[in-house]
A and B are shown apart, each in its own frame.
Chain A
Amino acid sequence: EEVTLRAITFTPAQVIYAQHFQTFVDMVNERGKGVVQIQIIGGPEAIPPLRLGEAQQNGVADIFNLPAGLYLNMVPEGEAFSGSNHTPMENRANGALDYINDIFAEKANAHIIAHVDGGNGFHLFLTKKPNMTAEGTVDLSEFRVRTAPLQRAFVENLGAINVTQSPTEVYTSLERGIVDGTAYTIVGMRDFNWDKFVKYRVDPGFFQTDVLISLNLDVWNGLSDEAKAILNEVGEDYEQISYDTMAEATASEDKALRDEGIEVISLEGEARQTYLKAAYATSWDRLKSRDATHYDKLRELFFTPIE
């Protein structure tokens, strides 16, 4: 008998992540005819993003398009996804996904079927030119940078004053010079129109977006083997597809931003490694400080040390 899963997304329907999720849903609905179907019932207007982890745990809905970073309170280990310097496909192949799935099952009553939109890193976007340090990395003292909690510690290590703001405030803040920059993905800069004020971008990017497709564990366990197989199969295919689409979107946005005259400050050689090392360290240290039980194993599976 055909089951219909009710899905919730963490962004409004017209944002790229929800649109990508729609593609996944279409694929499942195509391949799962007669077995499993997905119906999207809403986004942040239905459940506030900060409470999606709970909704998944309760089973208020069945399947979720939901970043691990939104429920680190439940599963601090979820930070391994954003702190990973592997592709999601690599993490699937080397057993990292299976390993962390046990943790998600225990702590969040959830089962992850895919880490989607991977490889999409964060960059510093600045309105004025930063000085360079003796080691060749950027010196952000005298800078006020808006960050999400995830990037905060790193940006502070670079000397910047961290400013916490919701994305809707950033436009006015960049315009008026309340902040001198923000850390964000390349995709999305133009949607928020922040590109109007930003003049410089620092490469390389660090971390990656941690958007998962996951189900309430009871719902997952209650599915037929056939339904599970279809979801797993589409999940695996879609992980790669969304990785590629995201890379294409990033490339075209990158070109658009460069065409607008945004200058890329690219760190090379040792400076680049130092920069990346510092960035990833803040993420992994935080994971460890919250719950060290699985730290070593997760780090081994999700992360290749930077030399």
Chain B
Amino acid sequence: MDWTVSLAILVGGLLFAMGIGLPVALAFFAVNVIGVYVFMGGSRGIDQMLSNATTAVSTYSLAPVPLFLVMGSLFFYSGLARRVLDAIDLLIGRLPGRLSYLTVTSGTVFAALSGSSLANTGMLGALMVPEMVNRGYKKHMALGPILGSGGLAVIIPPSTLAVLLGSLARIDIGALLVAGLIPGLVLAVFYAGLIYAQTKLDPEAAPFYEVEAMPLSRRLWVFTRDVMPMAIIIAAVVGSILTGIATPTESGALGVFAVGFLALAFRALDWKAIEKAVTEAARVTGMTFLLITASSTFAQLLAFSGASSGLVRWATGMEMGPTQMLLVMLLILFVLGMFMDQVSMMLITLPVFVPLAASLHFDMVWWGLIMLLMLEVSFTTPPFGLLLFVMQGVAPPGTSLTEVARAALPYMLCVFLLIALLIVFPPLATWLPENM
């Protein structure tokens, strides 16, 4: 069968099944069943698919998802989050949209701790969104910064995806990791600029409310009492990674205990909070993992049927200049990213992209970073964007997928802006690794 036909059957089927309103995971499974019959030869294919499905989430690299979700929900349900945010409200004072800035800042910090976008988004979402909505923030002001900084986890080291890309594409992994640092910070600044613009255009989005004026001594006391102790959590998570006590994958578990310890110290820990936190984490984990299971079998089917490799070869087979070719690669990643996860995308595209990039004499570290940014974008592109789903899972009831996707859009544009900047000014990525 020609790859175009395979692609049309699978992607068309998926869009149809999602479009009519089936739950996304079941839409995937429905198309998988039909696709397996067509491409893998009937009944034995179904057995293969279900057997493949048992490997999708039983991989240790996904462990940060439940761990950081427990940590984030415990932080919220124990009331620690409220305490910290109250204090920060008092400290920062009148800045409009301060919680959005705070989200970007803590998102950047957590990006430097964890290598997993899913875990980052889950944790920050559980942590910040309910509080922000309580305080009258419009949803996009609460969801957007988290979706944006969730993606930062991919380019700010450590990053599992960067390590995988580096080893698959034979790029110096250390250089690739370091190269992400400055662009990551630039991106965080873009995000802050975006929030500034959003609050200027729509002051209602992040409602301004009067906070009491306080003398400096009082502020210092509030800071010492309510914010400083949070350093324990940071120490548990970051410190354990930096000192080699735990891997980024494992650090979430230590974070849970740090939050628990702190909540205990503030007499904020009770069974109710623990129960709610774990329940919430199990709920979001279950929802996300079912989606990963369903979509990864779909991605396997796309590969097995020759649809994805056909698309990649067709698009990259055109005769074009280096910049156009780079844009074609980005476009392919963008299209594939609408339907599959990042690891599958890499496995499918890199065998073609890497020799192509080398033949075009790209700086591989620079090129790898741009690929990573595009992979980051695909986390939030509908219809299949894992971060969108995780976010909807932790957002207040009644938050629609469209709403989440719309909140993510301006942040996605920031990433495109950064990619453009990198194309025009490559030293942004290459300077640091070359001078270390």
Contacts and interface: CB of A to CB of B under 8 A. Distances in A.
Query: Are A and B close enough to touch in the complex, i.e. CB under 8 Å?
Result: yes
Interface of A: 12-15, 41-48, 50-51, 54-55, 58-60, 165-169, 171-173, 176-178, 191-193, 196
B61 A168 contact: yes
Task: State the 10 A-B residue pairs at the shortest beta-carbon distance, nearest first.
Answer: A13-B351, A45-B347, A177-B244, A176-B244, A46-B303, A46-B304, A58-B44, A193-B173, A45-B303, A48-B55
Given A60-B48, A165-B60, A193-B174, A178 B247 contact: yes
B168 A48 contact: no
A192 B167 contact: yes
B241 A51 contact: no
B55 A172 contact: no
A168 B48 CA distance: 26
Contacts of A48: 52, 55-56, 300
Contacts, number: 105
Interface in B38-62: 40-41, 44-45, 47-48, 51-52, 55-56, 59-61
Contact of A55 (B48, B60, B61, B348): B48
Contacts of B61: 166, 168-169
Among A44, A54, A171, A177, max chain B CB count under 10 A is at A171
Nearest to B176: A193
Contacts of A191: 167, 170
A5 to B, nearest CB: 14
Contact of A51 (B48, B115, B163): B48
A52 B87 CA distance: 55
Contacts of B243: 176
A44 to B, nearest CB: 6
Interface residues of B, number: 49
B257 to A, nearest CB: 18
A145 to B, nearest CB: 14
Contact of A43 (B241, B244, B248, B347): B347
Nearest to A43: B347
A55 B172 CA distance: 34
B242 interface: yes
Contact of A172 (B169, B248, B309, B350): B248
B347 to A, nearest CB: 4
Nearest to A8: B304
Contacts of B306: 41
B63 to A, nearest CB: 11
A43 B348 CA distance: 9
B303 A42 contact: yes
7 contacts: A45-B300, A58-B47, A172-B163, A176-B242, A178-B245, A192-B167, A193-B166
A168 B167 contact: yes
Nearest to A54: B51
A14 B300 contact: no
B246 interface: yes
B304 A178 contact: no
A60 B243 CA distance: 47
A193 B300 contact: no
A144 to B, nearest CB: 10
Contacts of A169: 60-61, 160, 163, 247, 249
